[in-house]
Structure formats: C-alpha cells, structure tokens
C-alpha cells in the first residue's frame, strides 16, 4: 500500500456508520461533526449507546474537555481528521491493516524463515506448509499471512486438547494456504487446505473461527 494513495480505497458510508467505527476503533480519533440544528463539534467519540427506541446516542469529548450528547441521526456531516488511524474501517477492509510504522519490517525472506520455524508449532508431523499462491509482494499481505499462521497455531492448540482432536490432527501432514475471496477449510487425505483473503482485513477472532471450522472437518 502506497502511503500517499491510501485514500483511493475509501468507501462512502453513512455518518452513523462512521461514528460507530470511530468509537470501536480503540484509539482516540479526532473528528468534526455538524448537526442538523447548525451546531459544530470537534473532538473524540467516547461512547455510542443504543436506546430502547433504537436511536443511537453519542457522547463526545471536545479538545477543551467539554462533553456533548446528541442523537446519531442528527448528524449531517462527519469529518475524520485523522484518517490514517482508520484505514481499515474507512476502506471497509479493502486496506487490510493500519498503516505500518517506519520501524516495521518483514521481508519475504524473513517471512519464509519465520514460517519454517513456526511450522513446528503446528506439529512435528507437518511436512510441508505451502503458500505458493499467496501474493507476498505487498507488505500488508505478509503481515496478514503471519497473523493467519499465528491464529492457526492457536486453533490447533485448542482442538488438540481433546484426544479425538489430537488424533485427527496427527493425520494432517501438509498445510496449504491459498488466496481466495472467502474463508474456507477442507481436508483431503493428509492435506489441510485453507482458503482466505490475505489481501483484505482479516476477520476478528480469527483463531476462534478457525477452531470452529476445524472441528467441523477433522
């Protein structure tokens, strides 16, 4: 992802959706909001709550520490002042990760060395870990693939706590990870194939999702 072209991936969304995304971001993001009564507010979203009448109420902290409360449906315009903090949300996952910091580095060679080492965590019986179809030219893809393997290690650890799960996993000797539009797992013979969109934002709680899917097929 080119740092100067990130905005080209952004997707039009409603003000209410943006407010919800800003609140869930986990990091203070400065926004400016215009309301239908003409009011203009600038600050960070500190709470969004669904009322019994299904309306969302917003609590906002200004830079001079004033607190404002207003219904989300009253928002006519929202401006995200720090979009680099919300690349994934503003692009609806088309940008797969937050913008990397200058000290982050993971070359293709480093990734392959890491995969060779990490393969042991998947079991001594694993002979091959294939990633041939994964596009590794993009830095974000390499980081995502690393996260996929970490999630798979966690999922494997959970299913092998059970004796039957351990026995079934011991039958897997080859793991193939393929680029695809949707997440899908299958086992044929001694090969586990995982299809996943490495170039998109990964699902939250990926390890739990993989655990559930593995339990369905092992």
Residue 26, domain extent: 6-90
Q: Are residues 133 and 206 in the same domain?
A: yes
| pLDDT on residue 1 | 46
Residue 61, strand partner residues: 44, 67
Give yes or no: residues 213 and 121 share one domain. yes
Which of 1-10, 40-49, 65-74, 183-192 has the weakest average pLDDT?
A: 1-10
123 and 61 in a common domain: no
CATH of the domain at 41: 2.30.30.100
pLDDT(128) > 70: yes
| Residue 171, in any domain of the structure | yes
Whether this model's pTM surpasses 0.85 = no
Are 132 and 208 in the same domain? yes
Tens of pLDDT, residue by residue over 17-61, are 999 999 988 789 999 999 999 999 999 999 999 887 678 999 999
Domain co-membership, 53 together with 130: no
Residue 196 lies in a domain: yes
Q: Same structural domain for residues 66 and 115? A: no
| Residue 103 included in any domain | no
CB 177 within 8 A of CB 128: no
Alpha helices in the chain (DSSP H): 15-24, 87-90, 108-118, 139-159, 163-169, 206-217
Instruction: Give the count of domains, the chain.
Output: 2
| Contacting residues for 136 by C-beta, under 8 A, at least 6 apart | 108, 111, 142, 145
Structural contact between residues 175 and 127, judged by C-beta atoms closer than 8 angstroms: no
């Amino acid at each position: 992802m080119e740092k100067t072209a990130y905005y080209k991936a952004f997707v039009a969304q409603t003000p209410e959706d943006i407010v919800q995304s800003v609140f869930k971001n986990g990091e203070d993001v400065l926004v400016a909001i215009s309301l239908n009564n003409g009011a203009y507010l600038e600050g960070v979203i500190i709470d969004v709550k669904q009322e019994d009448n299904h309306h969302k109420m917003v609590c906002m902290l200004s830079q001079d520490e004033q607190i404002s409360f207003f219904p989300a449906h009253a928002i006519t315009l929202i401006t995200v002042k720090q979009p680099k903090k919300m690349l994934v949300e503003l692009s609806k996952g088309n940008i797969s990760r937050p913008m990397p910091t200058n000290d982050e580095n993971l070359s293709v060679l480093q990734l392959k060395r890491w995969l060779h080492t990490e393969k042991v965590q998947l079991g001594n019986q694993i002979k091959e870990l294939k990633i041939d179809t994964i596009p590794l030219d993009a830095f974000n893809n390499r980081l995502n693939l690393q996260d996929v393997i970490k999630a798979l290690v966690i999922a494997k650890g959970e299913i092998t706590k059970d004796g039957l799960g351990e026995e079934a996993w011991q039958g897997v000797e080859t793991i193939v990870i393929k680029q695809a539009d949707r997440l899908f797992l299958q086992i044929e013979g001694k090969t586990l194939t995982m299809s996943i969109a490495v170039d998109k934002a990964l699902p939250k709680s990926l390890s739990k999702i993989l655990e559930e899917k593995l339990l369905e097929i092992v």
